[in-house]
């Protein structure tokens, strides 16, 4: 099983972000992942031992030999559509034989106490981010009291539905404050209704698949959640464990706005929503990928702690602290 010292050396590789419609070809040659364009010219190569996951954007060709070799190196492959960055296929490394872990995992149905801790972890990080980026929000001491009151509400919640109601109300207020200076409307996942929702979807998609790859590498059934309950084709456990880390993406987007990296002419509006122009994809992927990789060790430790908690059948919860 992958350990932290090895994971520290790992990186994510993105292919197809050059803004071209060229058909890419991937091969493993001399223990390197090699990328060719449609003319057979070398575009890039990376040592397989240093790759955790490969994200391919757009069209490319792949062989069964390549799949076999990637899996032998423990590399997951995620395929994403151009423009809207929707994941359409995955080939992931899985520790499917870890039946002890899964047997314990399946015993959890509606685990209210762990759900409370997970939700409060997310909300605490949201408050920390607001305090960092919008100091005026915390001028009044009542804000700190508000967080204490929220914890009481969470601890008093009797059902998952109550917790989700608390989460929804806080998230609406959180986004409104955080994106006040950037034309915030409201959070509408997967609609691409405006630039903010499009960019958050892109960032959250990268984060989601990063966490999902880690969970599967440890042997989890990512469809069996704790806070998010079973739902057709939803990876509920991954939905659970990305919650405390969403603030990483939120901060990266606010920082990009402050650095004037978000340009209106980078996007085009269609009948189904906003899309990124092909020649702008590399810049925006870099914004979120760097933010995730900056905290990759924290994410790894968080997943590892959850692994041991489930394997040893304890109710321990190791929170992720947004502030390093």
pLDDT, tens digit (0-9, with 9 covering 90-100), for 12-41: 988 877 644 455 678 888 899 988 877 778
| Shared-domain flag, residues 183 and 255 | yes
Distance CA 290, CA 55 (A): 14
Task: Answer yes or no: are the C-beta atoms of 235 and 223 closer than 8 Å.
Answer: yes
Mean of all residue pLDDT scores within the chain: 88
The answer to whether residue 324 is domain-embedded is: no
Edge-first strand listing for the sheet containing 87-91 = 11-15, 51-57, 76-80, 87-91
pLDDT score of 303: 96
Give the pLDDT mean for 123-130. 93
Cα separation, 284 vs 221, in Å, equals: 31
Each residue of 193-230: b (16+ CB within 10 Å) or e?
bbbbbbbbbbbbbbbbbbbbbbbbbbbbbbbbbbbbbe
What does pTM read for this prediction?
0.91
Tell me the longest C-alpha to C-alpha distance in the chain: 63
Is the domain of 160 the same as that of 189? Answer: yes
Q: Are residues 129 and 152 in the same domain?
A: yes
Residue 22 burial class via C-beta count within 10 angstroms: exposed 0-12, middle 13-18, buried 19 and up? middle
Q: Which residue among 56, 74, 91 closes a domain?
A: 91
Residue scoring higher pLDDT (103 or 39): 103
Least confident of 95-104, 149-158, 303-312: 95-104
Q: State residue 21's pLDDT score.
A: 45
pLDDT at 65 over 90: no
Looking at residue 314, what is its pLDDT? Answer: 85
Residue 202 has pLDDT above 50, yes or no: yes
**78 and 12, same structural domain?**
yes
Question: Where is the domain boundary, 49, 75, 91?
Answer: 91
Q: Is 129 in the same domain as 266?
A: yes
- Cα angle vertex 131, ends 126, 132, to 5°? 100
In this predicted structure, the answer to whether residue 147 has a pLDDT above a threshold of 90 is no
The answer to whether position 305 is within a domain reads yes
The CATH number covering residue 33 comes to 3.100.10.20
Domain identity same for 143 and 281: yes
Q: Tell me, yes or no, whether 112 lies in a domain.
A: yes
CB 19, CB 284: distance < 8 Å = no
Cα–Cα distance between 153 and 94 in angstroms, integer? Answer: 38
Among 41-45, 92-96, 250-254, 274-278, where is mean pLDDT lowest? 92-96
Q: Please indicate, yes or no, whether residues 121 and 40 belong to a single structural domain of this protein.
A: no
- Domain boundary among the residues 58, 91, 124 is at 91
The stretch 51-79 carries a mean pLDDT of 87
Containing structural domain, residue 37: 4-91
Sign, CA dihedral 303-304-307-313, equals negative
- Strand 267-270 and strand 273-276: the pairing is antiparallel
Q: Is residue 158 in a domain?
A: yes
User: Distance between terminal CA atoms of the chain?
Assistant: 26
Sign of the torsion formed by the C-alpha atoms of 151, 156, 158 and 164: negative
- Taking the mean position of all CA atoms in its chain, how far away is CA 151? 25
Position 140 pLDDT exceeds 70: no
Model pLDDT for residues 151-200, shown as the tens digit of each residue: 999 999 999 999 999 999 999 999 999 998 999 999 999 889 999 999 99
Q: State whether 81 and 107 are in the same domain.
A: no
Q: Give the per-residue pLDDT at 142.
A: 67
Which pair of structure tokens corresponds to residue 311?
A: 């394997």
CATH no. for residue 292? 1.20.120.920
Residue 141 reports pLDDT greater than 60 = no
Residues 140, 79 share a domain:
no
Residue 21 lies in a domain: yes
Q: At a CB cut-off of 8 Å and minimum separation 6, what does 106 contact?
A: 221, 224
């Amino acid at each position: 099983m992958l350990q932290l010292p090895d994971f520290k050396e790992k990186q994510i590789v993105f292919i197809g972000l050059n803004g071209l419609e060229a058909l890419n070809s991937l091969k493993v040659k001399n223990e390197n992942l090699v990328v060719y364009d449609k003319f057979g010219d070398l575009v890039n190569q990376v040592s397989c031992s240093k790759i955790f996951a490969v994200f391919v954007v757009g069209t490319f060709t792949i062989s069964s030999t390549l799949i076999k070799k990637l899996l032998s190196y423990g590399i997951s492959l995620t395929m994403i559509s151009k423009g809207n960055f929707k994941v359409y296929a995955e080939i992931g490394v899985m520790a499917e034989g870890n039946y002890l872990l899964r047997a314990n995992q399946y015993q959890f149905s509606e685990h209210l106490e762990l759900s409370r801790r997970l939700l409060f972890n997310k909300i605490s990080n949201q408050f920390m981010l607001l305090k960092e980026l919008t100091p005026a929000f915390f001028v009044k001491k009542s804000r700190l009291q508000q967080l204490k009151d929220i914890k009481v509400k969470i601890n008093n919640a009797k059902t998952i539905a109550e917790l989700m109601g608390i989460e929804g109300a806080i998230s609406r207020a959180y986004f409104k404050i955080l994106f006040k200076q950037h034309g915030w409307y409201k959070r509408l996942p997967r609609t691409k209704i405006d630039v903010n929702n499009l960019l958050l979807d892109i960032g959250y998609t990268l984060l989601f698949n990063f966490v999902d790859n880690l969970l599967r590498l440890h042997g989890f059934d990512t469809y069996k959640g704790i806070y998010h309950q079973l739902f057709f084709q939803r990876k509920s456990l991954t939905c659970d464990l990305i919650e405390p880390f969403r603030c990483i993406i939120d901060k990266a987007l606010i920082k990009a706005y402050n650095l004037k990296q978000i340009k209106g002419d980078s996007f085009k509006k269609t009948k189904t929503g906003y899309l990124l122009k092909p020649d702008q994809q590399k810049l925006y992927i870099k914004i979120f990928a760097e933010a995730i990789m900056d905290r990759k060790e924290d994410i790894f430790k968080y997943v590892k702690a959850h692994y041991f908690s489930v394997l040893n059948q304890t109710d321990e919860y190791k929170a992720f602290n947004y502030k390093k």
